Structure 1
């Protein structure tokens, strides 16, 4: 099998790394500083926080729904007052 040559027919020098070898070496190099591993997770505390966040979301959603219904009631009342007697 013939060896691969460079453009122009000149073969790669023996001390010059080939393109695919350079790409492999660059892929193996880390892209930045190596960070220490994260601290261990206390899943009990994590779950408590998650439950608290979900409960807060439920209360917030209920408060917003009540506020929206109250505003809608005001708008409907104002609309009805403006249209009384108009046909």
Structure 2
């Protein structure tokens, strides 16, 4: 009924598929054309773009913060905005 296979003494039943057969059954079938690999990445250019995006985000965030503070002052919270700013 059960026999010892070549896998370090692991019992394998004859009516059960082996692990490699099971993996083949579980692998999804490829659909559509096979695409070529992507081109190599120039990490210097990538890092330059990342730094620029980070700086732009920091500037945008600072501008939005200043705009929010100005809007609060215009909405009638003048005393709160000017408290401690002399």
The bucket for the TM-score relative to the shorter chain is: 0.5 to 0.7
Tell me how large the CA RMSD over aligned residues is: 2.7
The yes-or-no answer on 1:60 pairing with 2:60 is yes
Q: Give the Å deviation of 1:27.
A: 1.6
- For structure 1, list consecutive stretches of 5 or more residues without a partner in the other structure: 5-17, 78-87
CA 33–25 in structure 1, closer or farther in 2 if over 3 Å, else same: farther
Q: Residues 23 and 47 (structure 1 numbering): CA distance in 2 closer, same or farther, change over 3 Å?
A: closer
Superposed, 1:35-46 pairs within 5 Å as: 35-46=35-46
CA displacement, residues 31-74 of structure 1 (integer Å, 9 cap, x when unaligned): 43211100000000000000000000000000000000000011
How many residues end up aligned between the 2 structures?
63
Equivalence for 1:47: 47
Larger proportion of strand: 2
Tell me the equivalent position of 2:7: none
2:68 counterpart SS class? helix
The residue aligned with 1:11 is: none
User: Which fold has the larger relative contact order, with Cα–Cα distance below 8 Å and residues 6 or more apart in sequence?
Assistant: 2
1:69 maps to 2:69: yes
